[in-house]
Amino acid sequence: MASAVVARGFAPHAVRYGNGRGRAVKPATAPSAKGAASRGKGTSCASKTTLTLRGKLVGLALVALLTWTGWSFVAPQIAQSSTGTVRVVNYTVQPGDTLWGYAAGITPDGQNVSRTVDQLMRINQLDDAALEPGQHIRVPAE
């Protein structure tokens, strides 16, 4: 039975065949080009990667999320800022009246007074909440 023995004094790729007593040395050879080509376009290790069911589901969820995100940027959206018509009446500001004080009086309990102030400023096209006696403002009818 023949055994392979690494020869002393030779390159590590050289292998001596036989019992080690003066036999011929056969150098190790590189893979042939034909063998590499048959494995797939010159790659030395061809492997096929497959996804598990979990991987496929994660990939599908990622594609769906990216599609939904992209569509939300492109799709037209309807503005829903319409609060309906507000019936208003004219009010003449009296000495000592403030917009905050008036808003606090007409704001329902538990609601935010600052929103009512913002609404009054928007209705009257005011830059700030300062009022002057004798000024006419429009306020929501109660």
- Domain membership of residue 34 as a residue range: 4-40
Q: Could you tell me the CATH number of the domain that includes residue 111?
A: 3.10.350.10
* One-letter identity of residue 18: G
pLDDT at 56 over 70: yes
Q: Which two tokens stand for residue 43?
A: 């790659």
Evaluate whether residue 19 is within a structural domain: yes
Question: How many structural domains comprise the chain?
Answer: 2
Evaluate whether residue 58 is within a structural domain: no
Contacts of 117 (CB under 8 A, 6+ apart): 99, 100, 103, 129
pLDDT at 59 over 90: yes
Evaluate whether residue 28 is within a structural domain: yes
Q: In what order do the strands lie in the sheet with 14-17?
A: 4-6, 14-17, 25-27
Evaluate whether residue 33 is within a structural domain: yes
- The highest-confidence range among 15-19, 44-48, 98-102, 137-141, by mean pLDDT, is 98-102
Q: Which of 111, 106, 139 is nearest to 123 (CA)?
A: 139
Encode pLDDT of 32-48 as tens digits.
555 555 555 555 566 78
Higher-scoring residue by pLDDT: 65, 7: 65
Evaluate whether residue 77 is within a structural domain: no
Percentage, residues of the chain above pLDDT 90: 13
